[in-house]
Structure 1
Amino acid sequence: MRWEGERQSENVEDRRAGGGGGGGGFGFGGRSIGIGTIVIALLAWGVFGINPLTTIGVLGGGGAPQVQQVPAQKPPAGDQGAAFVSTVLASTEDAWNQVFRDGRAQYRAPKLVLFRGVTPTACGTGQSAMGPFYCPADQKVYLDMNFFDTLSRQLGAPGEFARAYVVAHEVGHHVQTLLGTTAKVDGMRGRVSERENNALSVRMELQADCYAGIWANKSQQAKNWLDQGDIESAMNAAARIGDDALQRQQTGVVRPDSFTHGSSAQRQRWFMQGLKTGSVQACDTFSAQAL
């Protein structure tokens, strides 16, 4: 992925200087959440989600840790990792500006917050153990870049384009917020069963994967910056974080009714749907009879 020298986004907040965390458990509302709770939350949430804070809060007994607000600042010059995510974020801005403009609408770009350990959000307190996530309440993507090491070493999904897919997926959730999809789905959640809630989550997540594919389509057309193997890298990441793959790895048992993000095959299919079509209409997972 040839990203060096491309425009970097100004919409990046760097809170890493004041990051906290560490230790075998995570303080949460005066209680400690151990690694077992985190694993359960990750299985319930998947890996790339809108907001795992709800899951963590329920399992941990509610409440939120006291986290001091870290002043936002720009990433330091020479930080290669921050430069990469800033460049990817800029490319999502360009891609979605084009899509919204073609639809006679205006795109509002999200902020991307880099943090370590824990950080306050409008959705509650974010923790690095949750992985990257998007908060609709403040329209920000939260990312502890140590997750990229987890993605590569523990989940077996290395490569820059796999990392770019992570960012693009979260921005896909922002697009859902702008289009009103998030509000509609949230309005349905209290009126349906747990199984139906899971099914709604799957369709939300697969649509975000499809939107990530739209980004790949538009950015490649504009920049021609992908190398051979980049798409395969994203497909590998999608396969590694499918609900069936995660459940099989953690418990050896696959329970489709508990899926919240979709199977590996479904995540790959919908990313490719967005990549091939570049069309928001083609990403309507809620109308699709077969996912």
Structure 2
Amino acid sequence: MKWRGRRRSTNVLDQRGQGASRGGGFGRSRAGGMGRHFQIPRGRGGKVSFSGILIMIALFAIAYYLNGDGSGGSGGGFTTSGPSQNLTAEQKAAQDEMAEFTAVVLADTEDVWNPLLPEAFGQEYREPKLVLFTGGVDSGCGFASSAVGPFYCPAGERIYLDLDFFSELLNRFNVEGDFAPAYVIAHEVGHHVQTVLGISAQVREAKSEVGKVAGNKLSVMQELQADCFAGVWANRADGISQILEPGDIQEAMNAAEAIGDDTLQRQAGRNVVPDSFTHGTSAQRQRWFMKGYQTGDPLQCDTYSARTL
């Protein structure tokens, strides 16, 4: 990815080394609000309705009571093994470089979503803050350790990221390249887009009305939409600033494959339990990222009324 020497966002808050008071993933939008009809603004004050969602909720609720709670393992996004301690000068320089990289990627998301949200949805974009932390952080959604991986909190509209996570991409998940972490950041910004549009609030309310299996299905839809929004960002950012280099999209696809719920459950030595998925399979995550990237159109990211995920 071409990122050196480019504009850095002023919305990065560097809290590395400051510590936090106590103990709460890539891809997970923590706590957030949700409305029943899955409507988001579109055009000049019109509405787009995610048709069929109430029917789906009813069907999922029926399936929940017929099939049980789907226990047997929980899906999730990236998690990390914990922060590194006592950084050498070389390690600190490498982390500072990744902090600069993060600020450039966040700037790219601002350049994309500031004009695109009004164009596609008739909704002004609010730029999120991105907080860099070490070990653990107190957020508007409660305390979180670095082990949960990057996450977005609607309270305060902030993304939280421990830079050690980028080392985990390579060392634990064998995901190489700089575009993989860019995809991760763009995914978390995708959750912020959902918050601005009111989608997150609708999903949360709908989940409160159904059982665990149906709620997990809604979580999968929400996460796959964030993947699709990340793909839209890649398309639009390249159109604006020509950021992509050969192999970048494959790096994002490798990351999406590495953190599919089915892949993570197999790697943990557990049985694959689809009812427990909260983020989607590797194939689903790849497919929705590519749909966003190939179309560059956020209106194509309606996972809630898609016939198949």
TM-score (norm 2): 0.77
Structure 2 letter corresponding to 1:16: R
Structure 2's unaligned 5+ residue stretches are: 33-92
SS in 2 for 1:88: helix
Matches within 5 A, 1:150-189: 150-189=168-207
Rounded to whole Å, the distance in 2 between the matches of 1:132 and 1:164 is 12
Rounded to whole Å, the distance in 1 between the matches of 2:31 and 2:155 is 14
Rounded to whole Å, the distance in 2 between the matches of 1:194 and 1:17 is 38
What does residue 295 of structure 2 align with? 277
Structure 2 letter corresponding to 1:218: R
Rounded to whole Å, the distance in 2 between the matches of 1:91 and 1:110 is 13
Q: Percent identity?
A: 51
What does residue 17 of structure 1 align with? 17
Q: Is the 8 A contact 2:123 2:197 kept in 1?
A: no
What does residue 117 of structure 1 align with? 135
Structure 2 letter corresponding to 1:5: G
Rounded to whole Å, the distance in 2 between the matches of 1:173 and 1:225 is 22
Q: Is the 8 A contact 1:92 1:219 kept in 2?
A: yes
Give the C-alpha shift of residue 102 in structure 1. Answer: 1.6
SS in 1 for 2:210: coil
Q: Sort the Cα spacing of 1:52 and 1:250 in 2 relative to 1 into closer, same or farther, 3 A.
A: farther
SS in 2 for 1:157: coil
Structure 1 letter corresponding to 2:106: L
What does residue 242 of structure 2 align with? 224
Deviations 1:35-57 (A, max 9, x none): xxxxxx9xxxx64211289xxxx
Give the C-alpha shift of residue 252 in structure 1. Answer: 3.8
Rounded to whole Å, the distance in 2 between the matches of 1:17 and 1:250 is 31
What does residue 58 of structure 1 align with? none
Is 1:94 aligned to 2:111, yes or no? Answer: yes
What does residue 49 of structure 1 align with? 28
Rounded to whole Å, the distance in 2 between the matches of 1:168 and 1:47 is 11
Rounded to whole Å, the distance in 2 between the matches of 1:105 and 1:197 is 27
What does residue 68 of structure 2 align with? none
Q: Is the 8 A contact 1:52 1:133 kept in 2?
A: no
CA RMSD of aligned residues (A): 1.9
Rounded to whole Å, the distance in 2 between the matches of 1:237 and 1:81 is 17
Rounded to whole Å, the distance in 2 between the matches of 1:105 and 1:170 is 19
Given candidates 254, 269, 282, the residue that maps to 1:236 is: 254
TM-score (norm 1): 0.81
Rounded to whole Å, the distance in 1 between the matches of 2:261 and 2:26 is 9
Q: Is the 8 A contact 1:161 1:233 kept in 2?
A: yes
SS in 1 for 2:131: strand
Where relative contact order (Cα < 8 A, 6+ residues apart) is larger, the structure is 2
Q: Is the 8 A contact 1:52 1:130 kept in 2?
A: no
Rounded to whole Å, the distance in 2 between the matches of 1:105 and 1:135 is 20
Give the C-alpha shift of residue 180 in structure 1. Answer: 0.5
Q: Is the 8 A contact 1:213 1:274 kept in 2?
A: yes
Structure 2 letter corresponding to 1:142: Y
Structure 1's unaligned 5+ residue stretches are: 22-26, 29-40, 54-75
Give the C-alpha shift of residue 17 in structure 1. Answer: 2.9
Structure 1 letter corresponding to 2:195: T
What does residue 5 of structure 2 align with? 5
Rounded to whole Å, the distance in 2 between the matches of 1:152 and 1:48 is 17
Structure 1 letter corresponding to 2:118: R
Give the C-alpha shift of residue 140 in structure 1. Answer: 0.2
Once superposed, which parts of structure 1, at least 4 consecutive aligned residues long, lie more than 4 Å away? none
Given candidates 107, 113, 123, the residue that maps to 1:105 is: 123
SS in 1 for 2:27: coil
Deviations 1:231-260 (A, max 9, x none): 000000000000000000002411111100
SS in 2 for 1:13: strand
Give the C-alpha shift of residue 20 in structure 1. Answer: 5.6
What does residue 81 of structure 2 align with? none
Q: Is the 8 A contact 2:20 2:138 kept in 1?
A: no
Rounded to whole Å, the distance in 2 between the matches of 1:194 and 1:147 is 29
SS in 1 for 2:28: coil
